[in-house]
Each structure stands twice: as structure tokens, then as C-alpha cells.
Amino acid sequence: MKQHRERLMLYFREHVKTLDEQSIGEAYMLLLMIGRRYFSYTDRWAVFEPVYATVPDHWHRVASDLNPGSEDYEQILKTPRLIIHTDQMTIDRVIPESLEGVPENPSSSRSAESSKFAGLFRTA
């Protein structure tokens, strides 16, 4: 787990690179609801964009604590992310300077389906 106490990943059932807006919203709501419980030990945690994904054509998001002593902390600082403040559930978006101005991937026009997400699992 690269010295993180908790690390979660949510991924889409099918191998697709982009999702429609509704599916993305549902994914983030799932991560926020579950993450609030899993990351209750820390004052803030993050959901990361898949900039360094090893399987770039499979939509997923990783949520993790922000341990400065973790093996991947330098990579965390380079990754676009949402920082969630656990106590108030407020969210700040962080886009590293090196990535500002880079357009985001356009959403696909996939229709909504039930059981879209194959799983949320701990990567421990």
C-alpha cells in the first residue's frame, strides 16, 4: 500500500476510458460516502485522477490518505486530485502547475446502466 493506512479503488465494469457525466457523479458519490468511513482516522484524504494509471483504457479512481511519509508522496503532489476534508466533507480541487491548461478527457455518451461499477476494493 506504499505506506498508506487505507487505499481504495473504484473501477467501471467494462473497459472504457471515459464515462458519461451521470456515471462519473455516481462514482464520486460512492467514493465520498465510503471514503468518509475508511479515512475517518485522518483530517483529509484525496481522490486521484488516473494520470499515472497502468491500465489507461479502464476507467477507475483511487482514493487514499495523504501521508507525507508514503513511498508515492512525490507522485501524489504531481497528480490532479480532489482533497476531501473529513470533518466538514468540504472538497478542494488541486491541479499541479505542470498540468494546468491541459484539457480533460471528454466524456463519452454511454447510456446509464445498473451495476455500472464492478467494485470498490481496498488495495491493501
Mean pLDDT across the stretch 19-28? 90
Mean pLDDT of the region 4-8? 82
> pLDDT of 40-68, one tens digit each?
999 999 999 988 888 778 888 999 999 99
CA 115 – CA 113 distance, rounded (Å): 6
3-state secondary structure the chain: CCCCCCEEEEEECCCCCCCCHHHHHHHHHHHHHHHHHHCCCCCEEEEECCCCCCCCCCCEEEEEECCCCCCCHHHHHHCCEEEEECCCCEEEEECCHHHCCCCCCCCCCCCCCCCCEEEEEECC
CB contact at 8 A, 54 and 78: no
What is the band of 116 on the pLDDT scale with cuts at 50, 70, 90? Answer: low
Predicted local distance difference test score (pLDDT) of residue 64: 94
Q: Which residue has the cell 507522485?
A: 75
